[in-house]
Amino acid sequence: MSDFWDFFQHLFNPRWIFFYFGNTALFILLAIVFAETGFFIGFFLPGDSLLFTAGIFGKDLCRNFYNVPFFVIILIVAGVAILGNMQGYWLGYKSGNLLYKKKDTFLFKKKHLIIAKLFYNKYKTTALIMSRFLPMLRTFAPIVAGAIRVDFKKFMIYNIIGALAWTFSIMLAGHYLDKRFPELKNHLEWIVLLIVLMTTFPIIIKLRISKKKKVLI
């Protein structure tokens, strides 16, 4: 049990994943990306920081995966992100109404689903692109899209655009920043912390605004 808990804690340390798993790190990355976008329990997984770190360790990923070009690695990750959103859409389509009636648990908070729905109602299908860069909304946006029966073809267009924009921008940022500043690897913990703060700050603001509105009502 303690070994499992140690592994669970290490999942929040992207650098550990790439050092510890080595040749199989890419598969861990793909599993986390799929889980984060394909299941409502994936909102706590470190998607953004993991992609950025994957960009920094891009050469290692390529070498450990048949020496393919780095853009191929990004396309593979984007493909899994697309499949993850399709899984989320299917989950929402099949059980969306039931999720709104589901009681809160450690891994599921109904307020996250409601915030994602408000976000989706405001930005419509473009929310599928924007939500890719926001941890919690990234998980729940496709579920909401499925629950409200968004046209699947339209969903797939924004799903593909969002996945490509998300993976290419963050992974290339890590890749080229590492080339320009090789010492980044020595300060990775601070960079990851900064990414977490930048991606969660908008959600915190949204929660505060929602609470104020409830008080006024």
Q: How confident is the model over 125-154, as pLDDT tens digits?
A: 788 888 888 877 888 889 888 888 889 999
The more confidently predicted of residues 144 and 202 is: 144
Round to whole Å and give the CA distance between 113 and 211.
15
- DSSP-H helix ranges across the chain: 2-10, 14-21, 25-38, 47-56, 58-63, 70-101, 110-123, 127-130, 135-147, 152-180, 188-216
Task: Name the percent of the chain lying above pLDDT 90.
Answer: 23
Round to whole Å and give the CA distance between 65 and 171.
16
> In the prediction, which pLDDT does 2 show?
47
- The pLDDT of 170-174, averaged and rounded, is 91
